[in-house]
Amino acid sequence: MDTTNNQPSRRTFIKTSALATGGLLTAPMSMDAMVHGFGEKKLKLALVGCGGRGSGAAVQALTADPNVELVAMADAFADRLEGSLKAIQEHFEGEKTISVKEKNRFVGFDAYRKAIDLADVVILTTPPGFRPYHFEYAIAQDKHVFMEKPVATDPVGIRKVLETAKAAQAKKLNVVVGLQRHYQQKYLSLLEQVRGGAIGTIRAGQVYWNDAGVWVNKRQAGQSELEYQMRNWYYFNWLCGDHILEQHIHNIDVANWFIGEYPIEAQGMGGRQVRNGIDHGEIFDHHFVEFTYPGGAVISSQCRHQPGTMSRVDEVFQGTQGSVVLGKGVITDMAGNAQYEYPRKWGEDPNPYQVEHDRLFASIRSGGVIADAENAAKSTLTAIMGRMATYSGKKVTWEEALNATYQLMPETVSWDTTPPTLPNAEGRYPIPQPGKTQFV
């Protein structure tokens, strides 16, 4: 450990990280594990963050284990909570009864605490800026956790998640993070081939999340600035972190996973060309980053939100003896001849979104420990480092990103909070400017 600022050095991460183990810690069923295991007892579930992803995760959790009961829900908005509950009930209609008492439906910025207090297992699916603080509270209350990626939007949040991840492991609490490729059979099969030497040492690669973009929620009459930003959260960095975090983290995480290291530096470029309206907040619509790893590998990372352009979500790596295209599931030699092809098509394997919940609840039942949070924090930091590089136009090192003091997300938020970013008289928000913006 590097004791400077009490923060871990990147060079020590790979030695102790979940990156090396896939996040699963296994141990015999000791008496201590039996205390933390639940056997066949009913598990009480709380959902914190009742958007579409939260509703889907709740369905998957309730499907994973027949003896799980959704007992509490929390969201900033009552309409989102009620809509989520209705969607979950409709999914299970005719199969099982889903009934959350009205007194256990909590609304507001402090609602998460009340919901977490009632549960054994919590699902954290609010906008990512809140994740470090909700995760910290859940672990402090000895809860098992499923949380979505990314796990923070700024370095202060990353350090909090890393600290909480250590506490979770010390308490033998399970933490699964929604980087579901770690639970996808094709990726696991290809990883086994790569680690077995099928393409030699990875020297380069390209990772992509290019598509037309996502939803926009336009400002409604009577909304406060805070409510507008909360409902249009994808476009504000304190809440979302930009799409290089919210979506492209999946592909960046795969690069870290397959290379077996975290990058030492990043440099890149980006901007707003197409999705640059008032309702697009402050984020870029394209990023391109070169990540350099300690072993010398260089990964080209690109993500784009521009309608009418090439769409691709994929990862490709070139090694000293061949290449792998993960989307196609094909490994070739240096001459381009196929050496391995994953035998099943999309949809023939178990759904990885379901598998991660199946694994979580099986581990809780058996007294095992899944520890995904550390790697998730480091892959989130990788994406933040990329954002720092594209926003500033400068080279950013891992240590600079890890130890940066800037904070986008307020420690606490109430309906009286002034959002960290505000529009000008024309309704436009400040946009990062390469060459001027400093590590935002």
pLDDT tens digits, 190-241: 999 999 999 999 999 999 999 999 999 999 999 999 999 999 999 999 999 9
Backbone angles phi, psi at 10, to 5 degrees: -60, -35
Pick from 143, 106, 141, 142: nearest CA to 126: 106
% of the chain beyond a pLDDT of 70: 91
pLDDT tens digits, 411-438: 999 999 999 999 999 999 999 999 999 8
Give dist(CA 376, CA 372) in Å, integer.
6
Q: Do 401 and 263 meet the contact criterion of CB atoms below 8 Å apart?
A: no
Q: Chain centroid to CA 374: how far?
A: 11
pLDDT of residue 40: 79
Pick from 382, 346, 147, 56: nearest CA to 251: 382
Using left for φ > 0, alpha for ψ between -120 and 50, and beta otherwise, residue 171 falls in: alpha
- Asked if pLDDT for residue 23 goes beyond 60, the answer is no
- Asked if pLDDT for residue 18 goes beyond 70, the answer is no
Give dist(CA 28, CA 33) in Å, integer.
8
| Residues in the chain, overall count | 440
Q: Do 143 and 122 meet the contact criterion of CB atoms below 8 Å apart?
A: yes
pLDDT tens digits, 329-375: 999 999 999 999 999 988 899 999 999 999 999 999 999 999 999 99
Sign of the CA dihedral with 328 first, then 334, 337, and 342 last = negative
pLDDT tens digits, 273-282: 999 999 999 9
- For the chain, report the end-to-end CA distance as a whole number of angstroms: 27
pLDDT of residue 5: 35
Chain mean pLDDT for the chain: 92
* Mean pLDDT value of segment 151-170: 98
pLDDT of residue 187: 98
Go through the domains of the chain in sequence order and give each one's CATH number.
4-182+353-375 (3.40.50.720), 188-343+381-403 (3.30.360.10)
pLDDT of residue 22: 43
Task: Return the SS3 of 136.
Answer: helix
**Residue 38: pLDDT band by 50, 70, 90 thresholds?**
low
Task: Return the SS3 of 302.
Answer: strand
pLDDT tens digits, 104-129: 999 999 999 999 999 999 999 999 99
Backbone angles phi, psi at 123, to 5 degrees: -110, 125
- Asked if pLDDT for residue 17 goes beyond 90, the answer is no
pLDDT of residue 346: 84
- Asked if pLDDT for residue 4 goes beyond 60, the answer is no
Element (H, E) at 71: strand 68-75
Between helix 52-64 and helix 78-91 the angle, nearest 10°, is: 40
Give dist(CA 342, CA 108) in Å, integer.
47
* Mean pLDDT value of segment 130-153: 98
Using left for φ > 0, alpha for ψ between -120 and 50, and beta otherwise, residue 294 falls in: alpha
Pick from 371, 355, 352, 361: nearest CA to 45: 361
- Asked if pLDDT for residue 28 goes beyond 50, the answer is no
pLDDT of residue 281: 98
